[in-house]
Structure 1
């Protein structure tokens, strides 16, 4: 159990009737309706750079899905700077890296959380070769097996312009959400992140714009835009 004092808010759990929680539910709904002919079940969340709110977006979106009685799984795919175990107050002594290197089984790395209907596979020990592990055939087969167990799988990935990990993960998912901090992210960085994802033919479902100044000191707003063309 982590002793971290991580302050990442899970507003959808703490205050589900708040306007911010409603914004996350709107994001969930927009994702569900962004594809008519197929169900989007494996979704990666990333950002252009660090500190833009991608992990906060992911955890609150996961809770919004779980509140509809869907079986939801979070995978911490950030094998370089993992944080999800802090937020959900679970151990990170084992996780995805143990699974992908055939040390443990899916059942052994799955962990329950304090959120009903929500489980997590943490990153596990930080490996020396994250990109190679994520690019393995084991990653593909693992996601396919997890799809038999869960309705929705959300993968937290590293920033898209820092390393190739996000591109690798994106190629194994049904869609990608790109989180942009309106205060600090430069247009060039967003375009570079999009280009990196386009290079692997990732399906960018839309952009979540956060930290929009709405003259409210408590505001932490998120907006969802339609699928990029």
Structure 2
């Protein structure tokens, strides 16, 4: 190990001695077609116009999440002798430049490094990762269209079978009554007309489904590599500041640390790519955990924040109307779903969207410490009819963010979820908020987890990275399909250090004051035997 460290230090010092860096250029052609001139698709379809937004592609090439993936895959922490992954990501952002030429449909990516070979390799690595992302997006969009047509075909088959069964029943009744059934002939004629229409519609859907299958197999990304970076074409540029000899010891320590964790980045990236390919997921990414949340801690690492912002960008691509309703299911109880849901809700709210987070894990609620709230009053109090909605929803200190605790454990949680008040709650909240995030219990442990997943527009499984496999996630997807739900996203949690949040005071009067229409927080806090409540005053997104 000592000899390897000496060799590593000597190689790093040799690279740093070069006086001038080299610059390489990669040319990416974006063939957007005419998608931007067509009418916007319906809310139930994937919005292809997002993929064809030229400026969005430039922003993605500059995003910290994409650059951090390149840092992991290329082991740039060791190669550049920096202390940690976030520092390497910032250095890569300074060494790369993106130029877009919308009239030509061309994106030029320039990267700088100490040698011509290294700069060319870096440019090609960023371009390859970007092209991989675009291909995954196109595949997910095409496969979603196939699934939609397949679902519509099954619905038409069921309708045809029901009509045919009714016709057989009417024929049998007519024969038994020797043609004396009044109105039977009119109903049969009407059913035959409907049967003819359903069969025509089924044939049309089958043709569309076959075409969608062919298009899914031939789906190609609108982005292609027009010109790769070559070592011989790299050019020297103005020299930049080099590290002083006094940083050699720090470089040695960083090199030893990089060797200890070497290969980790490639494994993480490969696992995420395998998930996207085998499960055909529209959304997959990492959700770093540090023991606290963005709701209470302002100085978290940029890599952690960028990871959740990348998840926000991917969620916005999902098909939804005015409100996107997502159920977050932990693969197991220690998956860290509470912290991940809190951080995701914070970045969604920071983006200007109104967000409501609901804790539906009645048996083991974990969200209320992150929101500095008590466990009840909450969801179970409203569903059981014991409290009004305005008494159970809390407005947090963060703009655009609201929270509903779980409430006390009810004797029949599954009955509450399947009840009419749950439908009324979701209908009401969809008209008030842009995002609904419901944290459910683990899928395989309680019955209401599947019911919550079936109510949502999509389901996100939260699993700890390093202790889950693709096979386990495939089993979770099958379980969701049995529950009439769809696996939309997988969030892989990673540990980033930190301390768990402190539990809130047990006394309701110690909670943060909540505003009530017509009363001040101090007046609410002065009521004996009660806790302050707050009315929900959310304006719908224009």
Separation in 2, partners of 1:196, 1:30:
24
Which residue pairs with 1:222 in the alignment? none
Decide which of 28, 35, 60 is 2:312's aligned counterpart.
28
* Aligned counterparts, 1:71-220, within 5 A: 71-211=354-494
- Which has the higher mean CA deviation after the structures are superposed, 112-121 or 203-212? 203-212
| 1:129-177 residue CA offsets vs partner (Å, 9 max, x unmatched) | 1111111121111111111221111001101111122110011111111
The alignment status of 1:57 with 2:340, answered yes or no, reads yes
Unaligned runs of 5+ in 2: 1-289, 499-542
Compute the displacement of 1:115 (Å).
2.0
Contact 1:40 1:175 in 2 (8 A): no
Q: Name the CA distance, whole Å, in 2 between partners of 1:198 and 1:57.
A: 24
Compute the TM-score of the two structures, normalised by the length of structure 1: 0.83
Query: Partners of 2:482 and 2:322 in 1: how far apart?
Result: 23
Q: Once the 2 structures are TM-superposed, how far is the Cα of residue 85 of structure 1 from its aligned partner?
A: 1.0
Larger radius of gyration: 2
Cα deviation per residue 1:30-54 (whole Å; 9 max; x = unaligned)?
011132x745511111122111122
Q: CA deviation at 1:188?
A: 4.8
What is the CA deviation profile of residues 52-90 of structure 1, one whole-angstrom value per residue up to 9, with x for unaligned ones?
122221111100110012111100011110111111111
Aligned residues: 208
Assess if the C-alpha contact under 8 Å between 2:443 and 2:450 holds in 1.
yes
Say if 2:303 is the partner of 1:19.
Answer: yes
Kept in 2: contact 1:76–1:123 (CA 8 A): yes
1:69 aligns with 2:352: yes
Q: Aligned equivalents of 2:479 and 2:420: distance in 1?
A: 22
- Aligned partners of 2:475, 2:447: CA distance in 1, in Å? 13
Q: Is the 8 A contact 2:312 2:347 kept in 1?
A: yes
How far off is 1:218 after superposition?
5.1
- State the distance in 1 between where 2:291 and 2:451 align: 26
| Matches of 1:161 and 1:194, distance apart in 2 | 12
Cα separation, 1, equivalents of 2:323 and 2:488: 10
Tell me: CA distance 1:205–1:86, structure 2 relative to 1, closer, same or farther (3 Å): same
For the residues of structure 2 that align with 1:140 and 1:14, how far apart are their CA atoms? 36
Q: Please report the RMSD computed on the Cα atoms of aligned residues, expressed in angstroms.
A: 2.2
Residue of structure 2 in register with 1:225 after alignment: none
Deviations 1:80-132 (A, max 9, x none): 10111111111223110010011111111111222221111100111121111
SS in 2 for 1:158: coil
Q: Secondary structure at the match of 1:127?
A: coil
For 2:110, the equivalent position in structure 1 comes to: none
| SS in structure 1 at match of 2:335 | coil
Higher RCO (C-alpha under 8 Å, 6+ residues apart): 1
Structure 1: tracts of 5 or more residues without a match: 1-6, 220-229
Task: Report if the CA contact (8 A) 1:75-1:122 is conserved.
Answer: yes
Partner Cα separation in structure 2 for residue 152 and residue 48 of structure 1: 22
The answer (yes or no) to whether the contact 2:291–2:497 under 8 Å persists in 1 is no
CA distance in 1 between partners of 2:291 and 2:390 (Å): 27
Mapped to 2, the partners of 1:171 and 1:129 lie a distance apart of 18
Pick the structure with more helix per residue: 2
How far the C-alpha of 1:210 sits from its partner, in A, is 2.1
